[in-house]
Each structure stands twice: as C-alpha cells, then as structure tokens.
C-alpha cells in the first residue's frame, strides 16, 4: 500500500494509470509526474518486479532531468510487469501493443514513451504502430524517424560535461588520466570521445573485472576486444583487478557508466580521482557526494551529465536528424553543467544541490500548483 504522503507532493504526480489486459495477462503502470514544462517523458521498463513506487521515483527523476536539460518535457515513466524471458518475441510485442492501446489517450499529449530495461527499437515500433502517432514514443527504428541511441548521445554528453568540469578546475583533457566504470552504450562512447579529446584512458571495467594499463589503453583495440571476446579483460596487456576496483584507481577523472549504488561512504576515503562524472544513474548517495566534496572531489551529478539520451529523444520528437542531436546535446549539457558548477561554487553547496535548485526553479516557474 502506498501512502499519499510518500508519493504525492506539490510537484506531482499528476496522474497514475494502472492497466490490465485480460487476454495476454499484461499488467502495467504509467506515472505522469509533472507536465509543467511539457509532456512527461520516460521509458517503458519491462521486468517481473517493476512496481508503482519504482515507476514513480523514475518519473520524478525524469522531471528533474528534463528541467535541468532545459527541454520542453516533463517527467514520466512506465512499467510492464512481467518476465520477458518467459515470453516469445511475438508475445512480448503483443504485450507492448496491448499496453500502447490502454494508455493511448495520454500519448503523446501528456506522455511520450521510450525504451528502457528489456525494451528496444522493435518494441518501440510496435508501440508507435498501435498508437498510430510516431510522436507517442522515441527510440524508434530509423525508418520511423528514430535516432538510434547506438550513436552514443549519452556517452557524448557525459564527455561534454567532463570537459566543462575540467575547465572549471583549470585543466585540459590532454593533461588528465581517466577511468571508466562500465563499457556498455554509455561507457564505450565516453572512452571514445574523451580519448579523442586527448585524455589518457588507463582503466576500464565491465562485468568480468577491471583492466588497468598505466601507459594508456588504445580505444580501437579495446572496442575490438570487447566486440570479439565479450570483455575488456581480454585486452592482452596490463593488470586485471576486481570490478569494483575501478573506483580506486589513481586517475584524475572517474566516469561511472553502469551500475547504481556503485560505492558507499566506506569507500570514499580510498577514492583518488579529483573529478567524478556520473554517467550512470544513482552511482552513490548524496551523503557520499558531501563526503567527497570535503575530500576535495568535484562530482557532476547524474541528471546533469547523462542527459544526452533524453536530449536526443527530444530531437527525434521534433523530427530532427543526428546532426541536430550532436549540436543540441553539446549546447545544452555544456551550458547547464557550467551553470550548475558556478552556482555550486557561489552558494557553497555540492553540485547536486545546485542542480536540484535550478531544476525546481524551472518547474516552479511554469507550475501553478507548485507555486501555491
């Protein structure tokens, strides 16, 4: 049972839609958190354990991410409750079609969907076709006007944020070493774009462990190794460590790009990086960010650094092309990272607090109920 005071505040949610499709057995939920800035934006998560509370918290995170990115979207999220591994491909698509039919009345006027865990381009195609409006969802195949996330928009945005933070610290990319936790869609592109900017990659991890090469890792060789052998640990040189050891490496910059809750307060004193850029969602707690700040570590928060994906989604929503996407991701993340870091310094607060203040102010400015 969800208590009102646990779920509702001045910002939202505005609407919670719970659906059930008897023929397939599909159950789902959509949370439209806040539409002051535009229709709620957020992906469709398809897992056996996704709950109303989880979907609400993800929708609220999207409210702040879209506001901070300064794009005309609000916060939203959906969950389909089921195990995709127990469904055939066609059954999974039929569940998505049923879900699309049952929330059609709010898409895209109040909610614009997207891929999330266990959903991808083909599910987005099924949703769009069932809804009848391609603007009801982003992350679609290219033939429906989609801009593939495989282009690396999120990783690119993380690197833009990193470069702004380095400038804030009076450093140049060519002067620093860096480590990346995770070599998936975010981490791989963070490695690519930051090495192209001149920084030296010396450590990277994936689910099999951490690779450390103090003399520097060649990105092309690393990407080829991952593609052909399934793990960065088969790189063929350097030192191999446990996966979590990535956060303790002696580098200037640490980019998190995979799992949530990566480290806690007991790990902080062992972290040597002076800049942490959160490409992953919720890699640690606010308490840890406070401790890191006292230790002289600058942390660029997740919803500032990893907004490239939702900015890319906005470009797709307005029928833009990849060239438009690259330009807007760089423009938005550069501007907003700089704004957050300057406010953090001026107000003597950690960047997350500064970012939340800016995001809330932007929502309040357009939201009558939030001002009440």
21 phi and psi angles, rounded to 5 deg? -115, 100
- At CA 279, angle to CA 6 and CA 62, rounded to 5? 35
Contact in structure between 41 and 112 (CB atoms under 8 Å): yes
Separation between Cα atoms, residue 369 and residue 366, nearest integer Å: 9
32 phi and psi angles, rounded to 5 deg? -100, 105
SS3 (DSSP) at 264: coil
Contact in structure between 311 and 328 (CB atoms under 8 Å): yes
Q: CB-based burial of residue 29 (10 Å sphere; 0-12 exposed, 13-18 middle, 19+ buried)?
A: buried
CA-wise closest residue to 96 among 67, 128, 52 = 128
Peptide bond into 108 cis (omega under 30): yes
CA 234 to chain centre: 28
Rg over alpha carbons for the chain, rounded to the nearest Å, is 20
Separation between Cα atoms, residue 269 and residue 140, nearest integer Å: 43
Number of residues written out for the chain: 372
Contact in structure between 213 and 235 (CB atoms under 8 Å): yes
- At CA 134, angle to CA 128 and CA 139, rounded to 5? 75
Residue with structure tokens 């059954």? 91
CA-wise closest residue to 199 among 168, 176, 225 = 176
> Does the annotation count 89 as an active-site position?
no
CA-wise closest residue to 283 among 303, 256, 305, 255 = 256
CA-wise closest residue to 30 among 123, 41, 117, 61 = 41
Separation between Cα atoms, residue 312 and residue 315, nearest integer Å: 5
Catalytic annotation, pick one of 3, 52, 65, 77: 77
Active site residues: 77
């Amino acid at each position: 049972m969800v208590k009102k005071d646990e779920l509702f505040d001045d910002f939202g949610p505005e609407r919670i839609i719970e659906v059930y499709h008897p023929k397939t057995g599909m159950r789902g939920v959509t949370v439209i958190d806040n539409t002051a800035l535009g229709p709620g934006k957020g992906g469709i998560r398809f897992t056996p354990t996704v709950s109303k509370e989880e979907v609400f918290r993800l929708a609220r995170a999207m409210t702040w991410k879209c506001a901070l990115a300064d794009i005309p979207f609000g916060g939203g999220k959906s969950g389909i409750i089921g195990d995709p591994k127990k469904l055939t491909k066609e059954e999974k698509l039929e569940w998505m079609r049923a879900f699309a039919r049952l929330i059609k009345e709010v898409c895209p006027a109040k909610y614009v969907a997207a891929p999330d865990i266990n959903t991808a381009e083909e599910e987005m195609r099924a949703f769009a076709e069932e809804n009848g409006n391609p603007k009801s969802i982003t992350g679609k195949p290219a033939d429906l006007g989609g801009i593939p996330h495989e282009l690396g928009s999120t990783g690119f945005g993380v690197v833009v944020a990193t470069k702004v933070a380095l400038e804030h610290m009076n450093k140049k990319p060519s002067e620093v070493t860096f480590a990346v936790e995770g070599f998936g869609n975010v981490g791989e592109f963070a490695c690519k774009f930051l090495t192209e900017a001149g920084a030296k990659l010396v450590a990277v991890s994936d689910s099999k462990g951490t690779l450390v090469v103090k003399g520097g890792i060649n990105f092309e060789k690393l990407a080829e190794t991952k593609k052909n052998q399934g793990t960065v640990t088969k790189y063929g040189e350097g030192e191999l460590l446990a996966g979590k050891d990535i956060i303790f490496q002696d580098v200037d910059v640490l980019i998190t790009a995979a799992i949530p809750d990566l480290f806690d307060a007991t790990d902080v004193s062992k972290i040597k990086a002076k800049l942490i850029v959160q490409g992953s969602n919720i890699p640690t707690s606010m308490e840890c960010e406070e401790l890191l700040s006292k230790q002289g570590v600058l942390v660029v928060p997740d919803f500032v650094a990893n907004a490239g994906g939702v900015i890319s989604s906005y470009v797709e929503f307005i029928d833009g092309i990849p060239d438009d996407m690259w330009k807007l991701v760089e423009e938005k993340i550069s501007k907003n990272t700089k704004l957050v870091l300057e406010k953090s310094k001026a107000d003597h607060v950690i960047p997350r607090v500064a970012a939340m203040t800016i995001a809330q102010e932007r929502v309040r400015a357009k939201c009558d109920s939030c001002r009440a």
